[in-house]
Amino acid sequence: MAVRVRVVWVLWGLVMGFFVASLVLRLWNGSALTSSLEGLAYFEEIIWWDVLIPAAIPAYATIGAVIASLRFGNRVGWLCLAFGGLLRETMQPEHASFWLVPARSKEDDG
């Protein structure tokens, strides 16, 4: 029984660790998704990508971990934990562009 509970919380720790790393990279990189927007569209993108999505990741992962640790065979707990991990992946595309797209130099402008 203790091994099963430990497995759940180790997976939760992995999801949360990757979430924190994604959040740090997102803050370090700036908000690439909203840089060209203005007005209400800018506000909507900020609320969605910088508030709601990051808040949902630990919520789903924690609820899933609690349910799965109390009842290991409960599929809803495992689905919530997995959804928290998959939702974290929505924060990743701009990180790839940060690391893979070379910085422009002054020579490229001329």
- Note the residue count of the chain: 110
Q: From CA 110, how far away is CA 101, in angstroms rounded?
A: 19
Residue 65: the pLDDT is 93
| CA angle centred on 94, ends 38 and 40, rounded to 5° | 15
Q: From CA 53, how far away is CA 87, in angstroms rounded?
A: 8
Residue 5: the pLDDT is 87
Residue 97 in tokens? 């562009």
Q: From CA 27, how far away is CA 46, in angstroms rounded?
A: 12
Contact yes or no for 17/57 (Cβ under 8 A): no
pTM over 0.85: no
Residue 60: the pLDDT is 92
Q: From CA 67, how far away is CA 73, in angstroms rounded?
A: 9
pLDDT tens track, the chain, 110 positions? 688 889 999 999 998 988 888 777 777 766 555 567 677 877 787 787 778 888 888 899 999 999 999 998 889 999 999 898 887 776 655 555 555 555 555 555 55
Residue owning tokens 């349910």:
67
| CA angle centred on 99, ends 94 and 48, rounded to 5° | 15
